[in-house]
Chain A
């Protein structure tokens, strides 16, 4: 285990708390709006919400530079927003409009903006991990001190490619941070059923990758652990594995009723440890209210932007299959 998990948190600078809070609230308002738009029948299409997990996305990305690379999961809105992707273009993508991040060809499950280092969400569980490893190879090759981050869930821990990548990152000492968002469910399948051991961080050690267990409901704890991981990566010390224990409030996909596989009591237990409410007292109430209002306005503007944007021209159907 590395420093960060159990160490005393250094009181973070006020602007860090503010940054984290702003991102977390924006992620939540964005995703709650998606849920509402779906409930009202306005929005169709596949999407997976990360509501409840915002502290991981924010705490990790707060340590990254614009040119650091992030490979995300199918539950990627939070990662994208925390990495700096414009929420209007994200919402337009969900609406299938030509102004979307992916020009309406990817949707929620593939949101990407390489100009801010967001390599993309992915519809294949675990597939983002080797992509991040490749970005770390590029970082080493170019020698500009960049790091790469692979987000994935406990579900991906059943995929062999995780272990292939732990192994390669260790033997080549790559600047890569594995961020496992352990939200206890792979789709509807509970971790205690699908994983031989539900303690995931210890799986990294046999590959020579230092690991930490992090309270993923505590943005400052994530920020702290990520600080050590990024420092090691940038300093040539190689990869780190962070198991962030977290929880998603919604079902696996928009429309999934999670009560088919978990209890109301369990949900209440985690909602009582909500990451946003947990960080909130660290900010003056006035400032918090201002940030809350900003987030709502930003999401309102995003929806308005998406609604007034045109659908892709049908002539775009088979463009960008090849570069030319």
Chain B
């Protein structure tokens, strides 16, 4: 059996291999090693990143390339942009995507716009590596991390010209997309779903890339297309299993990139199945699900035999309490129901 690796270790391997390959790659962020400056007292690499995905890197690459920053997202992400336009390839760790609230300026007004605004003089090979997604779904006494640490928000990045945004769904795509993001000459926001951090999957030991801007068909089917992203891809696969038991053959498209968006793969699938359900954990308004739905409406409406369905979180912040989180996050049940609804119409 080929090698199995946990999602966060796949990310770790991606970072390690890219840092070995290219001395211009640096990593900076809060607690990327942790316990900084206390090596003499025996404290090194206390955290290795909030999800442990950067563990062990400081021992190999040292504090000049694995840079623990103070808590100042605007400052250190702005610095990463400055480093990116002067010869480095920084990976800036934005601990939770919600912290974009204090760092959107360097991401949008600088990283995304610089190349255009400067008439093509510079490229900005920056990766903003961030964590997304609601947790605490199974909790019966308590919950997850609530509104300010659980957002998805990738549609925000997709909206900004100049940015790319990738969202892996398993350890294989995590490693390949992170390597692709580091090698990309444009700024890429890499979104890592926290509920996937501990999941296992097959990951080749050698370095490889998963192309940015390309979706993949994970399961073929002729009756309905289920479009998933991040954790929702797994939910779509589960829904497809259940639909199969009812004799419905669902095709599952794993989006992987929200910017650029692989319209072709989605449209091509929907033209064959004539039905589509787009599943997104993010909130619904101006989000990826409705964007994909609009693309389908624009490019494949003549092929549709039922309404375009979206299944998303509600228009609400992510709650704390376990049962509320479970109600927030789209389930296989709701995807099955949406698929049957569009097939029925």
Contacts and interface: CB of A to CB of B under 8 A. Distances in A.
A165 interface: yes
Contacts of B98: none
Contacts of B266: none
A323 interface: yes
A120 interface: yes
B110 A113 contact: no
Nearest to B114: A120
A168 interface: yes
B79 A322 contact: no
Contacts of A323: 115, 123, 185-186
A141 B80 CA distance: 13
Interface in B29-48: none
Contacts of B162: 321-322
B121 A168 contact: no
B210 interface: no
Interface string B76-114: 111111111111101000000000000001100110001
Contact of B82 (A112, A113, A132): A132
Contact of B117 (A105, A164, A167): A105
Contact of A160 (B65, B74, B79, B85): B74
Interface in A105-145: 105-106, 110, 112-114, 119-120, 122-124, 127, 129-142
A274 B82 CA distance: 34
A131 B81 CA distance: 6
B274 to A, nearest CB: 33
Contact of B118 (A106, A123, A141, A319): A106
Nearest to A172: B67
Given A134-B79, A137-B79, A141-B64, A168 B119 contact: no
B327 interface: no
B120 interface: yes
B142 interface: no
What range describes how many residues of B lie at the interface? 35 or more
B86 A168 contact: no
A167 B116 CA distance: 31
A171 interface: yes
Contacts of B81: 130-131, 134
B82 A137 contact: yes
Contacts of B185: 323-324
B295 to A, nearest CB: 18
A103 interface: yes
B78 A134 contact: yes
A127 B82 CA distance: 10
A50 interface: no
A168 B72 contact: yes
Contacts of B90: 134
Nearest to B115: A320
Nearest to A107: B117
A103 B88 CA distance: 25
A102 B119 contact: yes
A124 B105 contact: yes
Nearest to A131: B82
A134 B109 CA distance: 16
Contacts, number: 146
A154 B162 CA distance: 31
A135 to B, nearest CB: 5
Given A110-B118, A141-B88, A168 B83 contact: no
B161 A134 contact: no
A140 B64 contact: yes
A267 to B, nearest CB: 33
B69 interface: yes
Interface in A55-110: 69, 71, 100-106, 110
Contacts of A172: 67
B116 A105 contact: yes
A241 B64 CA distance: 24
A165 B81 CA distance: 14
A161 B109 CA distance: 15
Contacts of A71: 82
Contacts of B65: 141
Contacts of A321: 115-116, 161-162
A236 B117 CA distance: 33
B70 interface: yes
B215 interface: no
Nearest to B80: A134
Contact of A161 (B74, B86, B161): B74
B122 interface: yes
A68 to B, nearest CB: 11
Contacts of B72: 161, 164, 167-168
A28 to B, nearest CB: 26
B186 A106 contact: no
20 contacts: A69-B86, A101-B119, A102-B117, A110-B117, A110-B118, A114-B122, A120-B118, A129-B78, A130-B106, A131-B85, A132-B82, A138-B86, A142-B87, A148-B82, A161-B78, A164-B72, A321-B161, A322-B115, A323-B186, A324-B185
Interface of A: 69, 71, 100-106, 110, 112-114, 119-120, 122-124, 127, 129-142, 148, 160-161, 164-165, 167-168, 171-172, 319-324
Given A112-B122, A161-B74, 6 more contacts: A106-B117, A120-B114, A124-B105, A134-B83, A141-B88, A168-B76
